[in-house]
Amino acid sequence: MTAAEKSPYGGLIASGFNTLSLCFRLFMQRGALAACSIGSPGIDEVRWLAPVRPGDTLRTETEILELKPSSSRPDWGILKMKYVGVSQHGAAVISFAVNHLVHRRGQ
């Protein structure tokens, strides 16, 4: 029996941070924020909801939670988005919120 089989998960699972990285990358590769992204001050509310196993296929679903102007930079905004990583079985495996810094149009 392998060490992974003896673990509480009963087998090999992906690192939670690798799962987060992959789900974020899947969204960023779409280019939705390419024209306006300035960076990010951080990630909030990270939750690992279910193990990701070898052979799993993930997709990322996003939702805009909030969009507000920066209080210190009128040409910038803060876009808060919720990310959910979903397995091929339809199960949410991770969720997290990212505060994106973005250029504001017309500023």
Positive or negative torsion for Cα 14, 59, 56, 46: positive
- CATH value at residue 24: 3.10.129.10
The answer to whether position 53 is within a domain reads yes
- Do 63 and 13 form a contact (C-beta atoms < 8 A)? no
DSSP state for residue 81 in the 8-state scheme:
E
The answer to whether position 2 is within a domain reads no
The answer to whether position 26 is within a domain reads yes
pLDDT digits (tens, 9 = 90+) for 1-42: 677 788 788 889 999 999 999 999 999 999 999 889 999 999
The answer to whether position 98 is within a domain reads yes
- Consecutive H or E run containing 23: helix 16-28
> What count of other Cβ atoms lies within 10 Å of the Cβ of residue 94?
25
In sequence order, what DSSP letters do the residues of 59-77 get, joined into one string?
A: EEEEEEEEEEE-SS-TTEE
pLDDT on residue 43: 95
pLDDT on residue 37: 93
Residue-range definition of the domain harbouring residue 39 = 8-103
Based on the structure, what is the number of domains in the chain? Answer: 1
* Global confidence as pTM: 0.88
